[in-house]
Amino acid sequence: MITAQSLLQKFTNMKTLPHLAIKLSKMISDDNRTIQEFEEVIKMDPTMVLRLLRLVNSPYYALRQKCTSISDAVIYVGMDNLRNIVVTTALKDIYKVNPNESVFSRKRLWLHSAAVSICSQMISERIFAKKGENAFLCGILHDIGFIVEDQTIPDLFIEVCKTYDPKKNSITDYELEIIGTDHSAIGNTLANDWKLPEEVRKGIKQHHKIMTTVEPSSIPGIIQIAEFMVSRLDYTTIPEMHPELSPPLKQYIHDNIKEFRLLARELPEEMAKARELHDLDAE
């Protein structure tokens, strides 16, 4: 029997995700870890060091003097931003071109995930005046289950993609019928294994669920709105895949349409800035 846990175990055994990234993600959830411990781990990955220092020395932080110390950089960016750097660095390589590119494009999925993460952070910060780091993290990870399926059960996953008809049912309906689980459940299991914040896990698990009650400012609400918005810019996982919104979210957008229209106009420019800052462009 195929389950989210069994697929994730197979994915882990394939050593697809860097051990260093998994270790760092779990360390961030441990309040007893010291800055020196983070420095010892981070310095083992030159790519992560480069990305961390580039972020902290960007105009966003506007430091008076250039930061060259890993430990100082960790203090400046904070644990939430550090987690996002770790996860983004870990994921980027596994989204490279895949053998079945004509049926399912990992590059397209990566661009979709990047767009959702950036839009989610904007919604969190500009619409709801809340910190956006967890919204960004949930956005970049919400479809990671597709990668797990593509790598562990490629034949069944390609059957899902070929069979999927966006005019009939949700992609998760096809996954459940053909595979026995879906990418939302797989992503939630991975997020739980990485000890990510509960609201991030909930957002991953519920991003395709049509809910009668959902708080628009919650991570699940923000992710659904972000997916809805970026799909209108053709940042979709699969062509013609346009996710539905839960009724309370439709109503919220309708009631606040001016704010969302302004955000939609600013989205392309903000995506360009954030993609450069976080190195989100697909190779």
- Say what the pLDDT of residue 91 is: 80
Q: Are 211 and 220 in contact (CB under 8 A)?
A: yes
Structural domains in the chain? 4-276 (1.10.3210.10)
Per-residue pLDDT at 213: 95
Q: Supply the pLDDT for residue 97.
A: 61
By the 8 A CB rule, do 118 and 270 touch?
Answer: yes
What is the mean pLDDT, run by run of 10 residues, along the chain of 283 residues? 89 75 83 87 81 82 86 88 82 72 83 91 95 92 94 93 89 95 95 90 95 96 96 85 91 96 89 65 52
Q: In this structure, what DSSP letter does residue 103 have?
A: T
Would you state the structure tokens that stand for residue 253, as one six-digit string? Answer: 């957008």
Q: What is the per-residue DSSP string for 227-281?
A: HHHHHTTT--SSTT------HHHHHHHHHTHHHHHHHHHHHHHHHHHHHHHTT--
Kindly state the DSSP code that residue 68 receives in the 8-state scheme.
-
Q: What is the pLDDT of residue 274?
A: 66
3-state DSSP percent of the chain in helix, strand and coil, to 5: 65, 0, 35
